[in-house]
């Protein structure tokens, strides 16, 4: 193998790693923005009837059932008002959705992602406890997996960046053959 060929293959490997890293970044940003916008929309529907009066009315009726099966109400022996439960979940969804869309800090995005993930687990639990049909539980499951997927993509991208930084530090920026 000639030195020109070795340098060419090393350049191609570096270029391939950069493209993979860039693609992971694009996917992560796109997924963050789309999930954020979705949760802003869903949260606003829980907070206000301006988007859809019928859907808001259905959500109000459903949250009466969900408040009865809230997991911490029996543990701490208190009754959760359905109005405040719906408003709290809607407000958290809007707040976390805004963080996913607007704030560039990955720690804040991941905290918002984890908060939304906990809300989705709570939604799946509530749907299961009130014996909702799968059609009502399906979207919560889909977005649970999408939030988990976003965290996995972030972890892989950050790990790749750390390995590249460690490799660069090991080589002291000097190209080795």
List pLDDT tens digits, range 127-151: 999 999 999 999 999 999 999 999 9
Nearest Cα to Cα of residue 49 among 57, 38, 39, 61:
57
**pTM, full prediction:** 0.80
- Asked whether residue 141 is assigned to any structural domain, the reply reads yes
Residue 122: domain span: 27-154
* Residue 103 lies inside a defined structural domain of this protein: yes
118 falls within a domain: yes
pLDDT tens profile 55-107: 989 999 999 999 999 887 777 778 889 899 999 999 999 999 999 999 999 99
Q: Is position 119 within any domain?
A: yes
Asked whether residue 105 is domain-assigned, the answer is yes
Q: How many domains does the chain have?
A: 1
In a domain, 13, yes or no: no
Q: Is 173 a residue whose pLDDT tops 70?
A: no
- Does residue 16 belong to any structural domain of this protein? no
pLDDT of residue 166: 81
- The DSSP secondary structure of 45-80, one letter per residue, reads HHH-TTS-HHHHHHHHHHHHHHHHT-HHHHHTT-PP
């Amino acid at each position: 193998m000639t030195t020109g060929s070795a340098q060419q293959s090393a350049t191609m490997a570096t270029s391939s790693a950069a493209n993979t890293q860039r693609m992971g970044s694009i996917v992560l940003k796109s997924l963050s923005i789309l999930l954020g916008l979705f949760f802003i929309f869903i949260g606003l529907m829980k907070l206000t009837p301006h988007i859809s009066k019928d859907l808001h009315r259905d959500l109000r009726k459903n949250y009466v059932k969900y408040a009865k099966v809230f997991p911490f109400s029996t543990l701490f022996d208190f009754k959760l008002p359905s109005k405040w439960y719906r408003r709290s979940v809607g407000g958290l969804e809007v707040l976390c959705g805004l963080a996913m869309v607007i704030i560039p800090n990955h720690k804040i995005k991941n905290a918002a992602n984890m908060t939304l993930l906990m809300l989705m687990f709570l939604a799946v639990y509530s749907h299961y406890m009130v014996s909702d049909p799968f059609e009502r539980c399906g979207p919560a499951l889909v977005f649970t997996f999408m939030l988990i997927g976003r965290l996995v993509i972030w972890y892989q991208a950050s790990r790749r960046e750390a390995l590249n930084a460690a490799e660069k530090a090991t080589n002291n920026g000097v190209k080795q053959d």
